[in-house]
């Protein structure tokens, strides 16, 4: 009887062992290319308000809310919103369905007639354009996938994460760089080539953007992936673009490892004189630049330290790869 009970306990343990363990590729194609980012939002985001007849609108809407319906009409673009409003011009108010902190709500919105034009008092946006850096391409699955940025894309007016309806990454060329100075991070400036699409954007998360890579891939550039336990204080390099589309390698020094942080795992300082002369430090558009140590991909640049722009933070590559598999 005792033996049977032991067997029963063993079988229970086997049954409840978690089956959703994420497995990711041990080799990926190294990134470093600058990418254009084009995201069309899920619904129309409110980014501000203006006065009509000396008054602001009267409703429950706030900046960052996303309008998804006007009455029973689904809203995906500003054009959808304009058409739906035109169809309800005779009403004193219309029902708006919207998302607030991912919760669906409804409110009544008044339409104002001013100088013969109906106005809502809302500033809205249905898309985001920007630049970043490709971190990796995974070619070992059924389809090629990628990860980039290492952090979320946010709407600058509201600081809200952008919900993706559809989107793409595409070719661009770096035309100039506004240098970083302590207290004032600089940025890469780029010329966009919208016609050369690299891939789709499927999701925008706090660990980066991810999707299917549909362009040709140079698989000769495979690099092993390091586990977070292999990352150490000391010399490393980053890969990024300073001019045109040329990916170059630059020296950094990893100063601290934080395995307990969700995002800021790697603290580093740029030590490469050429990079410091060109950029002054970490600049916007560098997010996603791969970090390599001892011949392995260990992470991606994510943040600049604003009061010391020669320093920044990086995210473990394992976190990005796990996110890409979800």
Nearest CA to 247 out of 269, 275, 224, 280 is that of: 275
* pLDDT for 58 beyond 80: no
Where b means 16+ CB within 10 Å and e means fewer, 176-204 reads ebbbbeeeebbbbbbeeeeeeebbbbebb
pLDDT in tens, 64-101: 899 999 999 999 999 999 899 888 877 777 899 999 98
| Domain end position, chosen among 120, 140, 157 | 120
Residue 6's pLDDT band (cuts 50, 70, 90): very low
214 lies in a domain?
yes
| Domain end position, chosen among 62, 86, 120 | 120
Where b means 16+ CB within 10 Å and e means fewer, 16-50 reads eeeeeeeebbebbbbbbbbbbbbbbbbbbbbbebe
Number of domains making up the chain: 2
| Domain end position, chosen among 120, 147, 176 | 120
pLDDT on residue 41: 87
- Give me the CATH number covering residue 236: 2.40.10.120
pLDDT on residue 51: 83
Is residue 111 domain-shared with residue 151, that is, in the same domain? no
pLDDT in tens, 264-309: 999 999 999 999 999 999 999 999 999 999 999 999 999 999 999 9
Is residue 249 domain-shared with residue 274, that is, in the same domain? yes
pLDDT on residue 224: 97
pLDDT on residue 91: 76
Is residue 116 domain-shared with residue 134, that is, in the same domain? no
pLDDT on residue 22: 52
pLDDT on residue 109: 85
DSSP annotation of 64 reads T
Question: If you average pLDDT over residues 244-258, what whole number do you get?
Answer: 97
Residue 18's pLDDT band (cuts 50, 70, 90): very low
Tally of CA atoms within 13 A in the half-sphere of 134 that contains its CB: 29
Cα–Cα distance list, 108 to 54, 60, 63 (Å): 20, 8, 16
Compute the mean pLDDT over every residue in the chain, rounded to the nearest whole number: 89
Is residue 94 domain-shared with residue 113, that is, in the same domain? yes
Question: If you average pLDDT over residues 188-213, what whole number do you get?
Answer: 96
Domain that residue 72 falls in: 51-120
What is the C-alpha R_g of the chain? 24
* pLDDT for 11 beyond 80: no
Is residue 141 domain-shared with residue 159, that is, in the same domain? yes
Is residue 223 domain-shared with residue 115, that is, in the same domain? no
pLDDT on residue 147: 98
236 lies in a domain?
yes
pLDDT on residue 1: 34
Is residue 168 domain-shared with residue 64, that is, in the same domain? no
pLDDT in tens, 149-185: 999 999 888 888 888 989 999 999 999 999 999 999 9
Strand partners, 122: 49
The better pLDDT of the pair 14, 46 is held by 46
217 lies in a domain?
yes
Residues identified as active-site: 151, 272, 287
Residue 14's pLDDT band (cuts 50, 70, 90): very low
pLDDT in tens, 303-320: 999 999 999 999 999 999
Is residue 112 domain-shared with residue 227, that is, in the same domain? no
125 lies in a domain?
no
- Which residues have C-beta within 8 Å of that of residue 85, sequence separation ≥ 6? 70, 94, 111, 118, 120
* Helix or strand holding residue 320 (H, E): helix 317-325
Contact 320, 136 (CB under 8 A): yes
- Give me the CATH number covering residue 99: 2.30.42
Query: Tokens representing 325?
Result: 């598999």
| Residue with token string 């336990």 | 229
pLDDT on residue 182: 95
């Amino acid at each position: 009887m005792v033996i049977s009970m032991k067997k029963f306990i063993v079988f229970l343990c086997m049954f409840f062992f978690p089956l959703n363990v994420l497995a990711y590729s041990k080799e990926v194609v190294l990134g470093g290319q600058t990418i254009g980012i084009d995201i069309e939002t899920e619904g129309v985001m409110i980014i501000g308000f203006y006065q009509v007849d000396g008054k602001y609108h009267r409703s429950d809407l706030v900046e960052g809310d996303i309008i998804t319906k006007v009455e029973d009409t689904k809203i995906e673009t500003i054009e959808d919103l304009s058409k739906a409003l035109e169809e309800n011009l005779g009403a004193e108010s219309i029902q708006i369905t919207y998302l607030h902190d991912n919760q669906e709500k409804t409110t009544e919105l008044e339409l104002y007639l001013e100088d013969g034009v109906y106005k809502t008092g809302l500033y809205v946006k249905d898309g985001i354009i920007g630049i970043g850096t490709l971190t990796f391409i995974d070619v070992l699955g059924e389809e090629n996938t990628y990860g980039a940025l290492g952090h979320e894309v946010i709407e600058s007016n509201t600081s809200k994460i952008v919900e993706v309806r559809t989107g793409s990454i595409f070719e661009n060329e770096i035309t100039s760089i506004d240098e970083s100075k302590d207290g004032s991070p600089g940025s890469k400036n780029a010329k966009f080539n919208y016609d050369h699409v690299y891939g789709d954007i499927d999701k925008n998360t706090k660990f980066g953007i991810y999707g299917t890579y549909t362009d040709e891939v140079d698989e000769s550039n495979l690099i092993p992936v390091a586990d977070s336990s292999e990352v150490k204080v000391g010399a490393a390099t980053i890969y990024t673009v300073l001019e045109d589309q040329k990916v170059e390698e630059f020296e950094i020094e990893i100063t601290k490892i934080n395995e307990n942080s969700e995002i800021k795992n790697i603290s580093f300082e740029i030590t490469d004189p050429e990079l410091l002369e060109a950029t002054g430090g970490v600049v916007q558009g560098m997010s996603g630049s791969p970090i390599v140590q001892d011949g392995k991909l260990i992470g991606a640049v994510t943040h600049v330290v604003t009061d010391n722009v020669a320093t920044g933070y990086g995210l473990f590559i394992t976190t990005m790869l796990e996110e890409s598999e979800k």
